[in-house]
Amino acid sequence: MSRRFDLVVIGSGPAGEKGAAQAAYFGKRVALIERSDYLGGAGINTGTVPSKTLRETALYFSGLRQRGLYGIDYSLKERLTIADLMRRQQDVVERERTIVRTNMERHNVEIFQGVARLADAHTVSFVKPDGTGGEILDCEIALIAAGRQSNVQGMGLEETGMALGERGLILVNEKYQTTVSNIYAAGDVIGFPALSSVSMEQARVAMVHAFNLVYKESISSVLPLAIYTIPEISLAGWTEDACREQDIPYVVGRSYFDKSPRGQIIGDTSGMLKLVFSPSDKKLLGVHLIGEMSSELVHIGAQIIAAGGTIDVFIDSVYNYPTLSDSYKYAAYDGLGNLRTWRG
């Protein structure tokens, strides 16, 4: 059976979902092919959402956030089971899967389950899963250290004449167009940074270019990064090391959560915010955080960097009190003091 679509999307991860929705929003007839039993890709099913949910669960059951707040040292819940740890993660994943499917249905995207392959540059075929392994390895220890590789094996990319890079990565231009003009790629398959947040925007830019839509034509050059350790670490823009390597003059300003009323309230007295800025015009170059909510707070600095703003923006801004956000203001004040010292 043959069907015709304006767009066929292979894979329902963040890039696939948002790319399909973007094209369908503008009236294109879209099909989405997913070989897994569930929509959402690694971001929802095996990577981003499950691991971050387990992190929150660990914080909850350990009582780590509450320790010392009221003179009580909470200890780990007794008789904690794996089921206790996994229950919340499973609930969140199920809800996220439902959200993705609802989004596709709302945009009238037709969903097909199966393994897709490019028959040629304009034709996508797929076969339904037949139950696509299940081998059992009987061993005591297994170590698999293959590194990250683009998951495109068996898709027929070579038959289209598409150029591929190392480890199977698909080569694209600034509009995420491959060397085959009507085929686009976004997300993990094109390599760094391979983040859900960036992948979504890459797919939107690709669809705007593919269908000549007057909409989103590029993504921000400032990409916020976060490591969801305990405590969280996050950054955007230039680091001190990078400035030194490029011989870029810089000054830093710091603020500490133990000096913040909100930091005291939530019990995070080891967090820190650092601003890296140019001494000539006070233009913000980078922002770095470690501590509670770093992955959220970093966006304030990232927006200022993207807009070409200075640390004076933080000086002039009014923040709710008490909040961790006003750490930006005090880091900026500290930076101004360091700037005077830098100028001698």
What CATH code is assigned to 225-343? Answer: 3.30.390.30
Locate the domains of the chain by residue range. 7-210, 225-343
Q: Is the pLDDT of residue 236 over 60?
A: yes
- Total Cβ atoms within 10 A of residue 300: 19
Residue 28's pLDDT band, with cuts at 50, 70 and 90, is very high
Q: CA torsion sign, 21 to 22 to 27 to 31? A: negative
pLDDT of 240 reads 97
What CATH code is assigned to 7-210? Answer: 3.50.50.60
**What is the CA 55 to chain-centroid distance, rounded?**
16
Strands 115-120 and 123-127: antiparallel
Q: Report the candidate in 146, 196, 238 with the shortest Cα–Cα distance to residue 44.
A: 196
pLDDT of 73 reads 55
Dihedrals φ, ψ of 190, to 5°? -105, 0
Q: In whole angstroms, how far apart are CA 139 and each of 121, 142, 210, 233, 314?
A: 43, 7, 49, 37, 57
pLDDT of 77 reads 60
Considering the entire predicted model, what is its pTM?
A: 0.81
**What mean pLDDT do residues 163-190 have?**
93
pLDDT of 287 reads 98
pLDDT of 68 reads 55
- 164 forms bridges with which residues in the sheet? 170
pLDDT of 266 reads 83
Q: What is the pLDDT of residues 304-339, one digit of tens each?
A: 999 999 999 999 999 999 999 999 999 999 999 999
Q: Is the pLDDT of residue 154 over 90?
A: no
**What mean pLDDT do residues 253-273 have?**
91
**What mean pLDDT do residues 78-97 have?**
84
pLDDT of 69 reads 57
Average pLDDT, the chain: 89
- Total Cβ atoms within 10 A of residue 187: 28
Q: Give CB contacts under 8 A, 24+ apart, made by 258-261.
A: 259/330, 260/322, 260/324, 260/326, 260/327, 260/330, 261/321, 261/322
CA 290 to CA 227: how far, in whole Å? 10
pLDDT of 139 reads 74
Q: Look up tokens 């683009």; give the residue.
A: 150
Q: What is the pLDDT of residues 276-288, one digit of tens each?
A: 999 999 999 999 9
pLDDT > 90: what percent of the chain?
61
Residue 214's pLDDT band, with cuts at 50, 70 and 90, is confident
pLDDT of 47 reads 82
CA 264 to CA 283: how far, in whole Å? 30
Q: SS3 letters for 13-43?
A: CHHHHHHHHHHHHCCCCEEEEECCCCCCHHH
Higher pLDDT, 311 or 80: 311
Residue 135's pLDDT band, with cuts at 50, 70 and 90, is low
Q: Is the pLDDT of residue 221 over 70?
A: yes
